[in-house]
Amino acid sequence: MFLFFQTEEPDSLNPLALVGRYFREDRLRRALCVSVCPGQSTGTVSDALEMAAQSEESNAAVDVGMLVPCQDARARWWAAAIAAGAHWVRGETEEATKLYHAVEAVPLDDDDDDGPVLEAVAASFDSQRAMLELIGEDSDDKEEEEEENGGGEEASKETEARGRAAVGQTLATMEVASTLLEEAVEHVMTYQQQEEQHKQQQQQRQRRPTAEAMEENAVLRVRKFSLYLING
């Protein structure tokens, strides 16, 4: 499972619902691979946007009469997060801004195995967003200061104070994201170790019946040979 990537199980046992989930997971995994490492072997950022859109198109195809906006809220969140990041890379801040609300609504449940991963991705999103907003605010402050053209030493100090406060908030957001990313990596590694142990235990259980059957066959052979000797 790439980066502990999970979507929601469909409520319906309709085969088309299962196929739709597999399709969305495939599109989102590929889009995530491109976002992490775009290139000839993976694809371009435009490809990531297209694949996220394909996932959303499939997700929005709900059955008639269902009062829900999509089939899978978690797939919608991943599509929004991936698309927002892709728009940032392309310098399309306005397009990314339209997705902020969707990314802020993290679909977390108490029993989620991938909860730490979702929290880490959301915190990283907040960190990048704060950094971009800080750069934008800094540019705006400089323009205002130039327009005022000599608003005085007090105005410069006020602008500097606002800048320091914004930097402090951004650094705090980045620190939170860094901590959550470390926890997420540790969580995924622990989960993978547990999965590997579980597989080994299953393999051992599958081998036991074979070993028991061989032992029973050996006992039967000894009995047959004993009867052969007794009966001459």
> What tens-digit pLDDT sequence spans the chain (232 residues)?
444 566 777 766 677 888 888 899 999 999 988 888 888 878 899 999 999 999 999 888 876 566 677 888 889 999 999 999 999 999 998 999 999 999 999 887 766 667 788 888 889 888 888 888 887 755 554 555 555 555 556 666 676 676 677 677 777 777 777 787 777 677 767 777 777 887 787 777 666 656 666 677 777 777 776 766 666 5
From the number of C-beta atoms within 10 Å of its C-beta (0-12, 13-18, 19+), residue 170 rates as buried
| 185 Cβ contact partners less than 8 Å away, ≥ 6 residues apart | none
Q: How far apart are alpha carbons 124 and 92 in whole angstroms?
A: 18
Instruction: Quote the pLDDT of residue 206.
Output: 67
CB 180 within 8 Å of CB 119: yes
SS (H, E, C) 71-92: CCHHHHHHHHHHHHHHHHHCCC
Q: How far apart are alpha carbons 46 and 43 in whole angstroms?
A: 8
Ranges of H-type helices in the chain: 15-36, 45-59, 73-89, 93-97, 100-104, 115-148, 153-231
Q: What is the DSSP letter of 138?
A: H
Q: How far apart are alpha carbons 42 and 37 in whole angstroms?
A: 7
Instruction: Quote the pLDDT of residue 80.
Output: 94
Instruction: Quote the pLDDT of residue 47.
Output: 94
User: Which residue is it, tokens 């009995």?
Assistant: 223
Q: DSSP 3-state assignment of 137? A: helix
CB 58 within 8 Å of CB 98: no
| 53 Cβ contact partners less than 8 Å away, ≥ 6 residues apart | 79, 83
Instruction: Quote the pLDDT of residue 1.
Output: 41
At 20, the amino acid letter reads G
Q: What is the DSSP letter of 98?
A: T
CB 77 within 8 Å of CB 103: yes
Instruction: Quote the pLDDT of residue 144.
Output: 54
What is the token pair recorded at 138?
A: 């800094």
